[in-house]
Amino acid sequence: MNAFLISLFQNPMWYLGAVFALLAAIALTYFLGGFLAGLPNLFRLSANEHHYHYSRKIVTWGTMCLVYLFILWELLRWTVGLFTSAAQPNPWAFIVALLLWLLLLVVPFLIKD
C-alpha cells in the first residue's frame, strides 16, 4: 500500500489517464449503442422520423461526452505542464480544446427534441 501511495504522488498523470481511458470507453460504448441501434433503420430507409429520434439522441450525447473528456484531458495536461518541469505545453492544444468547448455550448440548443 505504501508503494502504491508513493507511486500515486510521484506520477499521478498515469492514474488520471487510466481513469480518463475508462470514462472514454464508457462514452464510446454509449455512442456505439445509439449508432448501432439506429443503423438498421438507415438500411431499411424507414420514412418514419420517430425511429431515428432515440438513436440520434444517444449518439449526440455519446459524442459530446467523448469531446468533453478530450477537452478535460487536454486542459489537465496543459495545466500540469505549466507547473512541472515537463515539456512546455502546446498552446494549440489549449486553443483547440477551448474552441471545441465553445462549440459544444451551442450544440444542445441546435438539437430539436
Do residues 24 and 67 make contact, with C-beta atoms less than 8 angstroms apart?
no
- Give the model confidence (pLDDT) of 83-96 as tens digits: 776 666 677 877 88
- Domain boundary assignment for the chain: 14-110
Q: Render pLDDT for 10-63 as a digit per residue (tens, 0 to 9).
A: 777 888 888 999 999 999 998 888 888 777 766 666 656 666 777 778 888 888
Mean pLDDT, the chain, rounded, equals 78
pTM of the model: 0.70
Q: How far apart are CA 59 and CA 33, in angstroms?
A: 8
Q: Nearest-CA neighbor of 27 among 55, 71, 61, 2?
A: 61
